[in-house]
Amino acid sequence: MYQINYDQPVHVHFMGIGGISMSGLAAVLLKRGFTVSGSDARKSPLTEWLSGLGASVSFPQSAGNIKDGIDVVVYTAAIHPDNPEFQAAQAKGIPMLTRAELLGQLMRNYPTSVAVSGTHGKTTTTSMLSHIMMKCELDPTISVGGMLPSIGGNVRIGASEYFLTEACEYTNSFLSLFPTLAIVLNIDADHLDFFKDLDDIRHSFRQFSEQIPAEGALVINAEIPRFDELTAGLACRVVSFGVGCGEYQAVNISYNELGCGSFDLKRGDEILGRFSLSVPGRHNISNACAALAAGFLLGLPADAMAAGLSEFKGTDRRFQKKGEIGGVTIIDDYAHHPTEIRVTLEAAKKLPYRQVWCVFQPHTYTRTKALMDDFVKALSIADKVVLADIYAARETDTLGINSDQLRQKLADLGKEAWYFPTFDEIETFLLGHCAPGDLLITMGAGDVVKIGEKILGL
pLDDT, tens digit, 9 for 90 and up, residues 408-423 = 999 999 999 999 999 9
Alpha helices in 115-211 (DSSP H): 122-135, 198-210
**For helices 282-297 and 302-311, angle between their N-to-C axes, nearest 10 degrees:** 140
Residue among 110, 105, 104, 124 at smallest CA distance from 158: 110
**Model pLDDT, residue 215:** 98
**Cα(273)–Cα(262) distance, rounded to whole angstroms?**
11
Q: Taking residues 233-251, what's their average pLDDT?
A: 98
Q: For a pLDDT cut of 70, what percent of the chain falls above it?
A: 100
Annotated active-site residue in 135, 141, 165, 166: 166
How far is 372 from 390, CA to CA, in rounded Å?
Answer: 12
Residue type, 208: F
Active-site residue, 161 included? no
Angle, nearest 10°, between helix axes 20-31 and 99-107?
A: 40
Q: Which position among 47, 119, 123, 165 bears the catalytic label?
A: 123
Active site residue 344: no
Question: What are the C-alpha distances in Å from 240 to residues 84, 91, 177?
Answer: 47, 48, 21
Q: Which residue among the candidates 85, 122, 165, 329 is catalytic per the annotation?
A: 122
- Tens of pLDDT, residue by residue over 335-364, are 999 999 999 999 999 999 999 999 999 999
Asked if the peptide bond before residue 60 counts as cis, ω within 30 degrees of 0, the response is yes
Residue 398 has pLDDT above 90, yes or no: no
Which pLDDT value is given to residue 20?
Answer: 84
Q: Rounded mean pLDDT of 291-297?
A: 98
Maximum Cα–Cα distance for the chain, whole Å?
A: 65
| Paired sense of beta strands 153-156 and 162-166, if any | unpaired
**pTM of the full structure:** 0.87
Domains in the chain, CATH or no CATH each: 11-97 (3.40.50.720), 110-311 (3.40.1190.10), 320-456 (3.90.190.20)
Q: Is 398 designated active site?
A: no
